[in-house]
Every structure is written in structure tokens, then in C-alpha cells.
Amino acid sequence: MNIDDIRTVCVVGAGNMGHQISLHLALYGYRTLCTDISEAALEKAGVFARSYLKGRVEKGKLTEDKAAEALGNLRFTSDLQEAVGSADYVIEAAVEKINVKRELFAELDRFAPEHAILATNSSFIVSSRIADFTNRPDKVVNLHFFNPALVMKLVEVVQGPHVSDETCALSIELCRKIDKVPVHIRKEVDGFLLNRILWAIKREAQWLYDMGVASFEDIDKACVYGLGHPMGPFRLEDLTGIDLNYILAMEKFKKTGNQADLPSPSLVERYVKGEYGEKTGKGWYEYKK
């Protein structure tokens, strides 16, 4: 298979990452099927796509023809077998739980054509922990987009020991075709590249807050106005989701058994209260609907 053979892409998961990845692919001419077990999530994703495209047209960033073409390329369905059945490339963007992903990839392997590449958008779980649940481990790869996927250029392509050179090369080329900047990670490591760097910053920021050294607002200001970051670590947690950050920390702890990997008490407090960040209207900061 070469890059021109990839015409249809299936995105599994219509959440914050999945629906944005789907829309981005559709904007670049790919027939895109977005699937989810939740009809409500699919409906919300469709509303977002129409609203986003309308806004881009109104701002002069997109022509009406291009917007109509993107909508024509995009389809939402709750039927996983139908969505995956004609896909040349599959991108999974489901919840960050290893057992869920393993069961899902076993299904994807059954439903997808033999030539299809099965990618996971996981920011933490390496594909070698999933690949053995399929009959095509050489075609199972991490393709990690960043939030918001419609804006952020970076995509991490992680080549585990089981991933073929062809799968890796096609994944990198697909990123370039949709105007992303791929980085090739040659070894599987927890957190890949950027998240490992972010973890170090977040861990120190969390310690400074928990020890009462500074408020989370001032820590964020220091990172923005001193380091030139677009947002501080606490604001970033609100954007990516405190629930996701909690789940990732717990998954890491289960793997390592190291208590230093447990989520901080202040993060746990917000998670238990259901204060997940922007999507719930409150996290570290408060947000108007």
C-alpha cells in the first residue's frame, strides 16, 4: 500500500479528540467515518462540525464550497462494523483504559480490511500493549494528535518493535498530507516525547501548589510570561480534562507501583467533585458556558 491508496479513514470515538480529528481529515479531502457507541456524542460532534465550518466561512478562512465539501466527506455512525469495513486507515480515540482498547482493537481487526492500518491516538498507552490482540501487529501504531487537533500541528508517530517500516512511513506521510508536523519516535517510552517533558513541568508545578509555595494562577503566569508557554500547566489540565489526567496518572501507577506516580491530592479532589475543566465549566478555573 502507498499513501494514495489511503482514501477512507475511520475515527473511533466522537469525543473531544475524535470529532476534531475526523473533521480535520474531512477538510483535507478524506472520506471520513466517525463512530461512537454514544448517539449523543455523535449528535454533538455533528453540531460542532457544522458550527465550526460555518464560523470559518463567516471569518473568511474557508470558502462555502470547501465547507460543503468537508461536510460531504464526513459521516457519523454508531455502527462500528459499517464504519470500519471500508477503511484504509483507522484511528482509535477512545477512553484511555487498556482493557477497553484491547477489546476494541480485537473488534477493529475483525472488521477492517486486511490492508488497513490500525492506529491509536493514545497519549500514554503504547501500541505493543494492544497489537497482540490483533492478527496484524505490524500494522498497529501510535498516532498521537494533540488537543485541539484542528489547531495543533504536532503528531507523534511511535514505532514500537512490532511496527513495520511501511506502517510507520505511511503514517508519517498521512500526517504531512493533512498539514501536520509528524515526529518519528523510534522507541516506545511512556508519555512519548512531549508528555514526558510536560510531566516534569506539571509534577513540579503541582508540588509548588500543594506545598503552598504559590497559587496555581501565579504558577501558570510564571510559565506563560517567563517561559513563553501559550498556557500554564493548570490551564492546560483544564483544557485536556482533569478526568483524563487522573486516569493517565492512575494507569501509570498501576503499571509502576510507584507512589510518586499517583495523582496529587488537589487533582483527586477536583476529579471526585466532577470538576473536569472546560467541559464541565469548572476545574482549576471557572468557565462560562
Q: Catalytic residue positions?
A: 123, 144, 156, 195
What is the C-alpha to C-alpha distance for residues 65 and 208, in angstroms, rounded to an integer?
51
CB under 8 A, 24+ apart: contacts of 210-215: 210/264, 210/265, 210/266
Q: Which residues pair with 183 in a beta bridge?
A: 156
Return the closest-CA partner of residue 122 out of 151, 93, 147, 150.
93
Alpha helices in 112-164 (DSSP H): 128-131
Q: Which residues pair with 9 in a beta bridge?
A: 32, 89
CB 71 within 8 A of CB 26: yes
What is the C-alpha to C-alpha distance for residues 268 and 31, in angstroms, rounded to an integer?
40
Give the number of other CB atoms < 10 A from CB of residue 38. 13
β 31-35/74-77 pair status:
parallel
DSSP for residue 123: S
CB 241 within 8 A of CB 276: yes
> CB under 8 Å to 2, separation ≥6 — which residues?
170
